[in-house]
Amino acid sequence: MIIKNSLKYKYLSKNELIVNLDRLSRFKLPEEAYQRVFYDVILKCLIFPKYSINELDYLPVDEVCKLFKYIWNKSVEYNYGINKHNKQFNILKALCLHLFKNTDKKTKAYINTNIYINPILNNIDNTSVKNLKNLKLNLNKKNNELIYPIQKLIIVEGITEEILLPVFSKKLGCDFEKNGVYIMGAGGKSKSPALYMKLRNKLKIPIILLFDCDAKEICEEMKNVLLKKDKIIMIKNGEFEDILSVNLIKRALNNEYETLMPVKKNDLKLYSKMCKNLENIYRTMQLGEFKKAKFAKIIAKNIKYKTDLSQEIKDIISCINNI
């Protein structure tokens, strides 16, 4: 049994509370996220009694939860002056129950640990960490229900899709954030199947996989393991950069690098692959190395009209929103 008066510990700082809350709220399997955060906080803050990782493994899970809860809540009180008797909706628990199934008994104990969250969320800037922005949206709850629960997951190959799909969808009148659409980058088409297999039996929500056209063999293989609630979308020709509007790319680059020689349509049609055209432009105009993430952000801030979106992009977003 934990005797609180015998504990010696140090408080988590505001920044440490924010970082760890962000780690708990990421779209990761709770059995991976929770124990790591609980252990890290205890190992960092608890001065007496002192535990090693192995000793925490042998400690009853309810004792681990009590230690974490005590240090966390005391740290929140210290940093934000919260009244310890304040009651609040357990957003993290609600999110986990909404998203995940087949959770083991140990992880359920972590999830059921009631910790102070609201004071942290109420004091973060709206431009702060993305996961906490999403979490904050649910503070204005109704009948202890999530207002903007995640309704579907999109697994994409790369950073371009991850950055641009929400922007394109918003231009078409559908806010991914408020409609519960979450995008996760797999880091390449070869990694998407493994990520899907890891999540398919753990998630209650539909999973949509978006592939470039060169992933036909992977898509055929995945059809054998795809659950009924899930869907594969494949780009018809090329990769995501290939279905961007040439006019949009030209305008975005010229706006970004307006002091240099303007990019012309023909510069974007020298090669069949758009990325190769872009690499050539960046090299010949001495713009530095072409990087997809930077390019996607340039495109994102230059979208003005619905006509900036190609028909295939509109079709992909329509398919996502109709699932």
Kindly report the average pLDDT of the chain as a whole number: 91
Tell me which of 38 and 82 has the higher pLDDT. 38
What are the tens digits of pLDDT across the range 148-157? 788 999 999 9
Q: To which residue do tokens 């960490």 refer?
A: 129
109 and 161 belong to one structural domain: no
Residue 159 tokens, joined: 């950073």
> Beta-strand (E) ranges in the chain?
8-9, 46-48, 152-156, 181-185, 207-211, 231-234
124 and 225 belong to one structural domain: no
Using 50, 70 and 90 to split pLDDT, how confident is the model at 241?
Answer: very high
- Residues with Cβ within 8 Å of 48's Cβ and at least 6 positions away in sequence, in order, are 6, 7, 8
What is the residue range of 18's domain?
4-139
Name the least confident of 100-104, 174-178, 226-230, 313-317: 174-178
How far apart are alpha carbons 318 and 323 in whole angstroms?
9
pTM for the model: 0.88
In-domain check, residue 124 = yes
ω before 49 within 30° of 0 (cis)? yes
In-domain check, residue 84 = yes
Structure confidence at residue 1 (pLDDT): 43
How many domains does one find in the chain? 2
Average pLDDT over residues 43-61: 95
Structure confidence at residue 201 (pLDDT): 96
111 and 182 belong to one structural domain: no
Phi-psi region of 61 (alpha: psi -120 to 50; beta: other; left: phi over 0): alpha
Cα-flanking dihedrals φ and ψ of residue 231, to 5°?
-150, 145
In-domain check, residue 296 = yes
Structure confidence at residue 124 (pLDDT): 83
In-domain check, residue 144 = no
Name the least confident of 26-30, 197-201, 230-234: 26-30
Q: Which of 81, 108, 139 is the last residue of a domain?
A: 139
Name the least confident of 111-125, 192-206, 228-242: 111-125
Tell me which of 307 and 4 has the higher pLDDT. 307
Specify whether the CB–CB gap between 157 and 188 falls below 8 A.
Answer: yes
